[in-house]
């Protein structure tokens, strides 16, 4: 009896989380979806979202992997501090991130003198969208990569080094292949976060169709005039995010199989 009561409380939460998703899919007919997807703001936003999130993913992986490898060692005096700071973007509100990005990289920001000697700035351009996405999504990948590297049996690393393997050989031939599934999961998580990014993008990059209007911003814009378009876009985003979630789960599973 008590068991049923406890499970019942859990079921309430499941219902609360599931209902909006059901509403999203259930209240739109197929023809409405088709009409919604034909709105002019849809395809530029979709194209921009794919382009910018792929770019930010490339940045996050190519800079985040070396960072995670360095921090996973725990050797440096500041590594613990850096690790904590790296997690900050996860907890600070996106609006705050937007203000912070403007203050750092905006036209009158901290770096303006260095970055924009001729006055034009990166804010309100597609590059700003990518920067905002990197800012909010990098911690997810870096954190996953750090824990993946720490899970590698240190004997594998020691053995490789006794052969004379260089740091790069250890990283590319031993560490990366062994943690590949966990890295893929981390990258997917980071991608999902970048795809959903709204607040920081709106403040730092604005909402310009074709240049800075990504899917979430297009949904917000469409909501004011055409609910169907907003809903159709939302469904596209949910389906894509669900695909990423499946990828994360299957990668996490094979990661467990691989590192004993």
Partner 1 sequence: MSLFARISARIGSLQLDAEIAAESGPLVLIGPNGAGKTSLLSVLLGARSHDRARIVIGDTVLVDSERRIALPIGARRLGYVPQDYALFPHMTVRENVEFAMRAAGIPSAGALNVLQELGVAGLADRRPMALSGGEKQRVALARALSVRPRALLLDEPLAALDVHARREVRQLLAATLQRLALPTLIVTHDPLDARVLGTRIAALEGGKITQIGSWAELDAAPATHFVAEFVRSSEVG
Looking at the Cβ atoms of 211 and 258, the one nearer to partner 1 is 258
Shortest Å distance, C-beta 158 to partner 1: 5
How far is residue 155 from each of residues 133, 150, 175, 180, 244, measured CA to CA in Å?
37, 12, 12, 18, 33
Distance CA 164, CA 160 (A): 7
- C-alpha dist (Å) from residue 120 to 112, 116, 183, 210, 238: 9, 6, 37, 20, 36
The structure tokens 């002019």 sit at 40
Tokens of 31: 């023809």
By C-beta, is 157 or 237 nearer to partner 1? 157
Tokens of 228: 């169907």
CB of 17 to partner 1, least distance (A): 38
Q: Considering the complex, what minimum distance in angstroms separates the CB of residue 142 from partner 1?
A: 23
Q: Which is nearer to partner 1, 75 or 118 (CB)?
A: 75
Minimum distance from residue 188 beta carbon to partner 1 (Å): 21
Q: To the nearest whole angstrom, how small is the minimum distance from the Cβ of residue 74 to partner 1?
A: 15
Q: Tell me which residue of 84, 256, 80 sits closest to 185, measured CA to CA.
A: 256
Of the two residues 178 and 203, which places its CB atom closer to partner 1 in the complex?
A: 178
> DSSP string covering 63-120, please?
HHHHHHHHHHT--STTHHHHHHHHHHHHHS-HHHHHHHHHHHHSTTSTTHHHH-TTS-
**Nearest Cα to Cα of residue 157 among 178, 142, 143, 141:** 178
- Enumerate binding residues for partner 1 (CB under 8 A): 153, 155-156, 158-166, 169, 173-174, 177-178, 258
Q: Whose Cβ is closer to partner 1: residue 185's or residue 194's?
A: 185
Residues 60 and 141: beta-carbon distance below 8 Å: yes
Q: Please report how the helices 126-151 and 176-196 are oriented relative to each other, as an axis angle in degrees rounded to 10.
A: 150
Nearer to partner 1, 8 or 154 (CB): 154
- C-alpha distances (whole Å) from 225 to each of 39, 41, 74, 133, 228 are 11, 12, 53, 27, 9
Cβ distance to partner 1 smaller for residue 120 or 153? 153
CB of 90 to partner 1, least distance (A): 31
User: Smallest distance, Å, CB 169 to partner 1?
Assistant: 6
């Amino acid at each position: 009896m008590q068991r049923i009561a406890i499970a019942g409380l859990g079921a309430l939460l499941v219902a609360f989380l599931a209902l909006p998703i059901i509403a999203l899919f259930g209240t739109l007919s197929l023809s409405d979806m088709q009409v919604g997807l034909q709105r002019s703001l849809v395809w530029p936003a979709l194209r921009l979202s794919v382009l910018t999130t792929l770019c930010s993913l490339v940045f996050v992986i190519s800079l985040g992997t070396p960072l995670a490898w360095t921090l996973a060692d725990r050797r440096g005096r500041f590594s613990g501090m850096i690790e904590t700071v790296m997690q900050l973007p996860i907890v600070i509100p996106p609006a705050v991130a937007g203000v912070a990005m403007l203050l750092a990289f905006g036209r009158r920001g901290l770096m303006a003198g260095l970055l924009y000697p001729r006055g034009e700035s990166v804010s309100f351009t597609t590059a700003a969208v990518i920067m905002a996405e990197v800012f909010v999504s990098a911690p997810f990948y870096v954190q996953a990569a750090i824990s993946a590297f720490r899970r590698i049996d240190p004997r594998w690393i020691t053995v490789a080094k006794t052969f004379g393997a260089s740091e790069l050989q250890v990283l590319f031939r031993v560490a990366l292949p062994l943690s590949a599934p966990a890295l893929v999961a981390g990258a997917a998580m980071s991608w999902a976060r970048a795809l959903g990014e709204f607040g920081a993008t709106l403040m730092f990059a604005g909402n310009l169709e074709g240049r800075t209007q990504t899917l979430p911003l297009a949904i917000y814009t469409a909501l004011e005039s055409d609910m169907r378009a907003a809903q159709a876009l939302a469904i596209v985003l949910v389906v894509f995010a669900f695909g990423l979630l499946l990828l994360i789960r299957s990668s996490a599973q094979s990661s467990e199989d691989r590192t004993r």
